């Protein structure tokens, strides 16, 4: 505890400087009284700081794999050719594997999720998150609820997937361990920030796609994948890698999947969700992880308790079976009764590649051939969604994701993570590997200065979130789902090399590669609507020096639904695939 005479404690000189900073003039008696009152506040803060740390018993590590038996390994590059693995370990419950709904399916976690005894890297460099030179990364003492649920559902967690440096990139070349390669074309972005989660599920999809066509499967170039993965999405970080990598990723309704024990960017936009190589597997994984945990402040009155979580995979199959019983599950009738809104503003974004727009319009036409009603819809405020996201969060964001500031509502925060020291060495490392992080720090410091930007600036932005949410809700009152692109292009070539070098690119040029990537995804992070990215087709890859010319990469389409209508979103995706899988459109 800080003593009253400590240089770190409140003394008269410090207090007088504090008073002067407000321009107040006090009588000697008032000064003495206010000093005593502020000192009492400091004493209570110190009293709480001296208390032992509290760990909620609901976060106790899974007993199926005791912490003492948890070991992990880092893979050699030959065993991790796409750099999609951060580190490997195994958590499972043999009894649950035999009886649970996941039935032994392998699962990878984004390297932002707390697992007791396993290092947490957040995609950044050693010693950025700890104060001890003997501990390169923090080692949590808790299992995030999502981890416990996966094990209890029979999943076999087999490791941490690489993520982008402090999760601040929508591409896949900023991780401290180097770029994460697209499994369809090496040297190209796989999407971020859940880059490894997307790639590890896509490895499975790539192998199946090639085997189906009797194409060679080069195992050493792909490495080992997984059946399922968990991603985190604050501006598109589940949907972007799903789209770039040709797989499926669902950002659920805000608060549906508990974010407790997961490193936060900001509670207003944090989402965790399922990634897989099929719609059915996304539904299955959502059933395993959804439901209020009693701790996450992101939950709402509409968030189901864990005991009341719908079996999404069963509800999806029941809806399909109902159509099958009516003879409608055909390429001409599966969409009967479905109303799809093609979002005009999402197709009018200035950086949208015409090839991507063509794939989305082809998906709309496919819905029509399936018997669905497709109409053009307009939400003018959608084009301002990225700016609203920025204005609502940039002022406080760095305090959360770098300094581990707890949410203003009660929550159990990520343990053991300390803010990095903003030294010249830190600046140079981050500028080289991820200028997005440096920009976030500088932007938060500037925008967060209430002398320049009074709270009314952010208050206004938050009110526009309410306006944007209402605008989407108004359109979704007339249609069942929205259809729009995920990304403006297919995965671009990496800007940063395996050696962590950006060549002669300036900071602005590096940052520009990320600009606009999340314009069609970030708006739904702040409004909380469920949004699914799924493969829709192909588009030509950009030709770059030293990379294969004439290649193609997946294009993702996005389906957005009403709050807590995940089944409706997944059913719409399933209907679309009755006419053929998106990656069959060669």
Q: In the annotation, is 378 catalytic? A: no
Q: What is the rounded (10 degree) CA torsion for 128, 129, 133, 136?
A: -90
Q: Which residue has the tokens 């207090």?
A: 15
* CA separation for the pair 336, 314 (Å, rounded): 21
Longest dimension (CA), the chain: 88
* CA separation for the pair 273, 236 (Å, rounded): 11
Q: Which of 86, 114, 169, 193 is catalytic?
A: 193
C-alpha closest to that of 491 among 539, 537, 433: 539
User: Do 336 and 328 form a contact (C-beta atoms < 8 A)?
Assistant: yes
Q: In the annotation, is 287 catalytic? A: no
Q: How many other CB atoms are found less than 10 A from the CB of residue 21?
A: 8
> ∠290-291-292 over CA atoms, to 5°?
140
Return the H-helix or E-strand segment holding 87: strand 85-91
User: Do 123 and 113 form a contact (C-beta atoms < 8 A)?
Assistant: no
Residues shown for the chain: 586
N-term to C-term CA, the chain:
67
Sheet holding 106-110, edge to edge: 85-91, 156-161, 106-110, 228-232, 272-276, 248-251, 531-540, 552-561, 481-485, 339-343, 373-377
User: Do 136 and 130 form a contact (C-beta atoms < 8 A)?
Assistant: yes
> Which residues fall within 8 angstroms of residue 7, CB to CB, at 6 or more apart?
none
Q: Is 411 exposed, middle or buried (0-12, 13-18, 19+ CB in 10 A)?
A: middle
C-alpha closest to that of 182 among 215, 228, 217, 221: 221
C-alpha closest to that of 127 among 71, 176, 77, 195: 176
User: Do 204 and 226 form a contact (C-beta atoms < 8 A)?
Assistant: yes
* CA separation for the pair 256, 514 (Å, rounded): 28
* CA separation for the pair 93, 152 (Å, rounded): 7
Residue 557's alpha-carbon distances to 244, 342, 487, 528, 574, in angstroms, are 10, 11, 8, 18, 13
> Which residues fall within 8 angstroms of residue 574, CB to CB, at 6 or more apart?
279, 280, 316, 320
Q: What letter would DSSP give residue 232?
A: E
Residue 414's alpha-carbon distances to 89, 129, 344, 417, in angstroms, are 20, 12, 40, 7
Cα 576 from chain centre:
25
Q: Which of 237, 245, 264, 287 is catalytic?
A: 237
Q: In the annotation, is 237 catalytic? A: yes
Q: Which of 86, 92, 110, 195 is catalytic?
A: 110
Q: Which two tokens stand for residue 53?
A: 């740390």
Tell me which residues are annotated as active site: 110, 193, 237
């Amino acid at each position: 505890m800080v003593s009253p005479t400590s240089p770190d404690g409140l003394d008269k000189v410090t207090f007088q400087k504090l008073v002067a900073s407000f321009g107040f003039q006090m009588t000697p008696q008032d000064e003495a009284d206010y000093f005593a009152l502020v000192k009492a506040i400091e004493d209570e803060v110190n009293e709480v700081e001296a208390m032992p740390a509290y760990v909620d018993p609901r976060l106790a590590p899974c007993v199926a794999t005791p912490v003492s038996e948890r070991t992990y390994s880092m893979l050699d590059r030959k065993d991790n050719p796409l750099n999609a693995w951060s580190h490997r370990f195994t958590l499972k419950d043999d009894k649950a594997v035999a009886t649970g709904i996941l039935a032994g399916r392998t699962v990878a976690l984004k390297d932002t999720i707390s697992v007791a005894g396993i290092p947490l890297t957040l995609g950044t460099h050693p010693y950025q998150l700890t104060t001890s030179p003997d501990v390169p990364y923090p080692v949590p003492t808790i299992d995030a609820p999502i981890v416990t649920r996966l094990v209890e559902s029979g999943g076999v967690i087999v490791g941490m997937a690489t993520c982008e440096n402090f999760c601040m990139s929508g591409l896949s070349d900023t991780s401290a361990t180097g770029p994460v390669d697209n499994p369809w074309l090496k040297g190209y972005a796989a999407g971020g920030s859940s880059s490894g989660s997307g790639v590890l599920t896509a490895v499975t999809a790539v192998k199946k796609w090639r085997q189906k066509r009797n194409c060679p499967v080069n195992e050493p170039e792909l490495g080992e994948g997984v059946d399922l993965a968990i991603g985190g999405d604050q501006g598109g970080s589940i949907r972007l890698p799903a789209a770039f990598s040709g797989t499926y990723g669902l950002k659920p309704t805000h608060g549906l999947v508990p974010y407790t024990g997961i490193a936060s960017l900001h509670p207003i936009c944090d989402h965790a969700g399922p990634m897989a190589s099929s719609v059915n597997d996304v539904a299955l994984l959502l059933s395993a992880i959804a439901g209020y945990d009693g701790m996450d402040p992101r939950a709402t009155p509409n968030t189901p308790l864990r005991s009341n979580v719908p079996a999404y995979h069963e509800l999806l199959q029941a809806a399909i079976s109902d159509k099958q019983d009516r003879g409608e599950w055909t390429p001409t009738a599966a969409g009967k009764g479905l109303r799809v809104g093609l979002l005009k503003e999402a197709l009018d974004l200035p950086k949208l590649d015409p090839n991507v727009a063509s794939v989305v319009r082809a998906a709309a036409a496919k819905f029509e051939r399936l018997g669905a009603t497709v109409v053009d819809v307009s939400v003018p405020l959608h084009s301002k969604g990225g700016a609203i996201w920025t204005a609502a969060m940039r002022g406080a964001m760095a305090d959360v994701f770098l300094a581990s500031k707890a949410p203003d509502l009660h929550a159990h925060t990520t343990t053991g993570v300390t803010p990095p020291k903003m030294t010249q060495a830190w600046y140079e490392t981050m500028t080289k590997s991820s200028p997005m992080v440096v920009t976030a720090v500088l932007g938060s410091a500037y925008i967060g200065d209430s002398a320049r930007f009074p709270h009314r600036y952010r208050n206004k932005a938050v009110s526009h979130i309410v306006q944007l949410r209402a605008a989407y809700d108004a359109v979704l009152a007339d249609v069942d789902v929205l259809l729009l692109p995920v990304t403006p292009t297919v995965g671009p070539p990496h800007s940063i090399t395996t050696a962590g070098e950006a060549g002669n690119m300036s900071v602005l040029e590096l940052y520009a590669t990320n600009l606009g990537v999340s314009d069609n995804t970030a708006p739904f992070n702040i409004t909380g609507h469920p949004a699914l990215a799924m493969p829709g087709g192909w588009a030509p890859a950009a030709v770059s020096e030293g990379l294969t010319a004439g290649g193609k990469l997946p294009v993702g389409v996005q389906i957005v639904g009403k709050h807590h209508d995940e089944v409706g979103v997944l059913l719409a995706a399933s209907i679309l695939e009755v006419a053929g899988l998106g990656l069959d459109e060669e």
